[in-house]
Each structure stands twice: as C-alpha cells, then as structure tokens.
Amino acid sequence: MNIIWNKTSGQFHLYNDRISYIMGVGVTGELTNLYFGKRIHEKEDMSYVVFKMGMPNVVVDADTETYSMELNRQEYPSFGTTDFGTQAFEIETANGSRISSFVYKNHRIYPGKKGIDGLPATYAADDEAMTLEVDLTDEVAQMTLTLFYTIFDKYPVIARHARFVHNGNAGVRLTKALSICLDLPDQDYEWMQFSGAWARERIPEVRKLGTGTVSIESKRGVSSANQNPFVIIKRPNTDEFAGEAIGFSFVYSGNFIAAAEGGNHDRLRVLMGINPDRFSWPLSEGETFETPEAVMAMTDSGLNDLSRTYHRLYNNNLVRGRWKNEPRPILNNNWEATFMDFTEETILKIASKAKEAGVELFVLDDGWFGDRNDDFAGLGDWIENPKKLPQGMAGLARKINAMGLKFGFWIEPEMVNPDSNLYRRHPDWVLSVPGRKSSLGRHQLVLDFSRKEVVDHIYDMLYKVINGAPISYIKWDMNRSLTEVFSLDAGPNEQGTIYHRYVLGVYSLYSRLIEAFPDILFESCSSGGNRFDAGMLYYAPQAWCSDNTDAIDRIRIQYGTSYGYPIVSMGSHVSAVPNQQTGRRESIRTRANVAYFGTFGYELDLNEISEEEFEEVKGQIEFMKKYRKLIQFGDFYRLRSPFETDQAAWMVVSEDKNSAIVGFYCMRSNVNTLPGFLRLMGLDPDRLYRMEGDEYYGDELMNMGITLSCFYKKGFTISEDHASFVTVIEAV
C-alpha cells in the first residue's frame, strides 16, 4: 500500500496490490477523480483523462472556456456552479445562498487510521493502512472541508468520510452531508440492492443502470429491514465467480440514502450518506460536523470475492474487543419456550435441560423487569420483578452459572411503554410533538436519546442490574421505527439534528456499557434485522438476523445477508415447530443445517422435544463445537442461489484449504429430474480430499462437482421438500 503525491501535476495515487485510486486538483482548485479500478502503474501525470472541449457548456470561468465540471468526474461535488448532477453536500450561508466552491489548500499523508469521534468506523494499525486527508476551503462561506481516504494493505478497499469546520462568525447550516461520492466514466453497470421488510430482510434485487437515478433510502430512524445500507454496482456479465463489481457499505445505523445517477454524457455517479431529508445541522464559529464512514471495495473476480473482502475487513478491522475473531457460545433462549410467562423455577428447568444437551450459554428474554407480563406495560423500568426473580438477576445468574452455563439477558433500552413508571415520571423524555398525537409501535414510545440525561438514566438503571452479576451476554432489542421525531429539549433551529443525535445517543450508551463491562458479548436486534448494518457491528459483533426463524425462509435471508456481512455476525437459531411466523414444520435436522451457518443456538424448550430429537440435538451441538471456528471464520462461498432455483447451497473453506463444510438445501422437490452436480469452490486443486468416506481431488470437486445422488446411499433424502445435508470435507 502507498499514497503518492505528485506535486507538479497536483495528483494523488492511492494503491495496493489490487487497486489504484487516482485523483487530482482540478482547473480551478476543485478535487477531481481520475481513476478507480485494478492496480495500474504509477505515472506522474494522468490529466489526459480530463475532458477539455469547446462545447456549448457552462464553464467555470472566463480563463477556462473549455473546462466544465459537468463533463468531468468530481470527488465531492456541490451544486450550482457547473456541475448539474446530484451534489454530495449543501451549505446554506447566513444570506440564504447554497452555492459552494471548495478549493485545494493542503493535505496530510500518514500510516494507520484515525477514529471518528462518537461514530463507529474501521480501524487499522500503522502497518495495515495509509490515510490521506485533503483540506479544501471556501473563503466566502469561511468553511474548511476535509476529505478522508484510507487504503488498506490487505484489502481492495478505500474507506471515506468528510469533516466540515466553520471558521466564521455568521453561522451556516449543513442541509446535506454525504460520506462518499464516486464518479465513474461509464454507465455499463447493474445496481444490486438488499431489500425487504420485517421477517423477509435483505433480499437481493438487481436492475440495469442508465441515464437517470436509482436510489434506496431509509427515513425510519434506523437503517431498516426495508433497505439495507449496502449496495453493489456490477458489470452485466459479473456473477458469483467472475467479473467486476464495486461495493458500498455505510458504517451507520440511522437514516441513509444510496443512489446511482447516470448523466447524459455516460458518467455514473454513486453517492451514499446520511439521508438529507429532515437533516439540518447548524454550525457556529469553530464547530465541526463529521460524516459517518462509507467503505468502498472492488473486485474483478466476482461477487463471492467481494463478499469475502467485507467479511475479512469487518472481522479484523471493525469488530473490536473480547469477541473479535472468537467463536461464539452456543446458546438457548427461552423466548419461544415461555414468552413472558415464566418463573425462576421454569427458567432453571429449561436451563438444566440445555446444559444436558451441551449448550454453553442461557439467555433470559423479555419479561424479567418491572410490571412486564405482556407488551403493554413495564418497558423502561429496568428493575428486576421479584415475583419472577426473587433473588434478582444476580441470583438467577449465579444459579445458572452453578449448572456450568454462562448467563445473559434481553433489554430494549431505547423504548418505553406509556404504562410504566419511567413514562409517568418523565413524559417529556419521549420523541413527541407538542399538541399532536404520538404513534405507537408494539405499544411503545421512543425515548429521546438525543438528550444526555435520558441516556444517563438508562445507563444507571442497566448498570445496577449488570454490576455484581455474572453476566456474559446481552441481547439489545429495538422494536419500532421512529415517528414524531421532535425533541422537547431542543429549539426550532436544532430539530433537524435530532435523527442523527438519536443515533449518536445509541452509540454512546453502547460505548459506556462496553467500557464498563468489556467481556460481555452484545447481540444487536431490531425486530430482528431492522438495524443489521456495519455501524452496529462496531459495538455488537453479532446481530439477530431476522425474527423469522423458519429454516426455509432463513436460507434466503442468510444468503442475502452474506453479500455484505460476515457469517459470524448472523444470529441464527433452531426454533420451535410449528414455526411462529410460517406455521411450517421443518425437521430438526434441516433447522440445524441452516442455523449452523451463523452463531447457532436454540429458541425452544428442550424438555418439550422427543428423546430421539434430543439425542439429535446433542449431536448437533457436538458438531458445532467441533467445527464452529471453521464455519464462523472460514472463507464463505455461495454456490447455488435460492432466488434462482429450488435448491440452495453454500460452503466454508479453512484458510489453509485443509477443511471445508458444504450445506445443501432442497427447498422444493421436482418430479422425474436427476439430482445433478454441485460444483464446489475454494479448495486446493492438487490436494486429495475425503468426503463421506470417499476420496476426490480438489480440481475434481470444483470442476466436475459432487453428484448429489451419492447422498441417497448415505441416508440423506434430498429429493423431499425442505430436506438438506451438511457434509465435511477434509484433506487426506
């Protein structure tokens, strides 16, 4: 990795073994993009790619009559001079003008990477990355804009964000501040987004790009299940194993927008950042606003390669602390076993059976606090209910520990029921508009986490529950979108900051709890996958992938999630049947075969299953303990898409290529068809492997594939609906 500054040409070249990113100071001092793609040789001057034409365009000034920003690629464009595309930012000055003109002033290059105050971001040691900071100034607005670029040594990745500083005394207002803009020289791409809704999250959708704009966004206050803050643009011939693609991942958990705009001169502009709708940020003299980070990765080797880049980067340079690259404990959660109707005796009985099966962690879900027996009351009162926990959380945790199990519990700290002591004491602590009705979601209101005293109060209550108790895990839930986003503590000039300040409040509570209890494993949850984003992974290294635990639906959900997020980040459990969401009754084998490819656990009472199934559960847990490091941190390959066929398949391969595990799923059987072949990936072509007692060379398994019919004689019935198998491959 390196960053070169060619002073004579005014150009920067960021590169590593796989990529080059080249930009330069333009004709009037603006920062322009010259190239992003596969690694190319260093050359002092690449300005021949700049278009200078005597065409009837609006030009920057009289001395540059052949140069228009409309025809050239910009790094961080504004609107209103000669670039008529979508802008990356907008500043309103005291006189009402929204015209900006930032020009190059200076720059800094240094090893490593700095953090972003109050926000999650990737990190890197001095030998892992190089960073470029470019300062640009607008003398009229009295503003400094700093653009940050970090290139990593091992990954074809550039992380970007921006910082605004107001140097004047008149006051300005940011009405838009995105994190990234990438201008490309042609539009021959397809747009790939990951959309859905509650219980059907992150389903890939692909559309052709051209002239005009394609965009996705969230205005729900969370990144949302409806649109994930991760998109890919790819060449039309790119598939899982070959072709060019660029990924854009937003390290943020609130409102966002991602867009691709095709211009009339074949330029393509991709933007990502905080959604400007309802965003307005005043800056007084000396004040700063820093955008969240966007992580841009590229490949010329297909979508699987792009995904593995994000998996490795986020596991190694985003997730932090005690659980970084650590296999996750196998857990049993009581939610689907008891819901809120339980006693300590009930919980201990379930935990005892879980221990007998080999489970390592028991999790107490909703209903342990306040007057909480249903969805209507108690939320916000984080004090143990003595009727359910007579010796408090610490007493139950010690009893669970005495069984040889770790212990964790559920919280939803951002919400409050109107029927709660917290709301009765502090009705002004919720997001609400004076004189207007407040919307309810799951019978709850949203606490105003833009206010420090609210976050402090929740922290104090949770600290008292956790401190002194042997707590190993916390599931942090958040079950509704934000509405009536108005803070009773903020003035009219500050209401446009509340969405973002709310997210900063969530991050601050996470940070304080992690600092106080660094060994606790946090799992984020937001009605399942409603806030499954890279920002959350910085605080909680795993997320409940979806409230939909149906194994067949989970194949699609986990498959889609894998495009941008590591396998170990996906909370995936074997749940009770009939399934709560679909009513289906998949076998306990298939439920486990899907759940293996994630964190793995059980959402049921193991006392309620048959003895035969219980023995199968013990075998499943033994299998997962043996292979979880390979599954959770191996190289993941999508082999067969559940969105294109009635079958699905994926596999993981160890870094040394000595071991692999394949998962295959028949989602719908077809009559009078041959089972066919499944071609594997990632193995050593010259190595001999053993699978199900037979031996195959790596090139044989990857080029010819395994015949699925061989599994009939192994006792698998893969021709039936919802049948599945998982098989281990080991080097001989």
Distance (Å, whole) CA 444 – CA 422: 12
Q: Using N-to-C axis directions, what is the helix angle for 344-357 and 611-633, rounded to 10°?
A: 70
CA atoms within 13 A on the CB side of 405: 30
Q: Which residues contact 655 (CB under 8 A, 6 or more apart)?
A: 634, 635
Is 272:179 a contact under the CB 8 Å cutoff? yes
Which residues contact residue 345 at a Cβ distance below 8 angstroms, ignoring those fewer than 6 apart? none
Measured distance CA(465)–CA(409) in Å, rounded: 10
The number of beta carbons lying within 10 Å of the beta carbon of residue 65 is 12
Token duo for residue 358: 């080999």
Is 698 in contact with 686 (CB distance < 8 Å)?
yes
Q: Do residues 13 and 3 make contact, with C-beta atoms less than 8 angstroms apart? A: yes
CA–CA separation, 435 and 464 (whole Å): 36
Closest CA to 551 of 533, 528, 567, 575: 575
Q: What is the DSSP string of 299-354?
A: ESB-HHHHHHHHHHHHHHHT--GGGTT-PPPPEEE-HHHHTT---HHHHHHHHHHH
How far is it, in rounded angstroms, from Cα 60 to Cα 313?
Answer: 40
**What tokens were used for 718?**
């893969």
Helix residue ranges, H only, 328-413: 335-338, 344-357, 392-402
Euclidean distance between CA atoms 549 and 603, whole angstroms:
9
Nearest to 26 by CA among 56, 54, 59: 59
* Interatomic CA distance for residues 362 and 393, integer angstroms: 13
* Type of residue numbered 505: G
DSSP classification of residue 439: P
Torsion of Cα atoms, 567 then 573 then 577 then 578, to 10°: -50
Query: Has 547 been annotated as catalytic?
Result: yes
CB 625 within 8 A of CB 632: no
Is the CA virtual torsion 429, 431, 436, 441 positive or negative?
Answer: negative
Considering the candidates 448, 477, 553, 605, report the single residue annotated as catalytic: 477
Residue 289, Cα to own-chain centre: how many angstroms?
23
Q: Sign (positive/negative) of CA torsion 389, 392, 395, 397? A: positive
Catalytic member of 83, 533, 547, 635: 547
Q: Measure the CA–CA gap between 422 and 414, rounded to whole angstroms.
A: 12
Q: Pick from 702, 583, 604: which is nearest to 651 by CA?
A: 702
* Chain centroid to CA 545: 11
Whole-angstrom Cα distance, residue 294 to residue 400?
42
In contact, 171 and 94? CB cutoff 8 Å: yes
């029921």: which residue's tokens? 417
φ, ψ of residue 630 in degrees (nearest 5)? -65, -45
* Residue positions annotated with a catalytic role: 477, 547
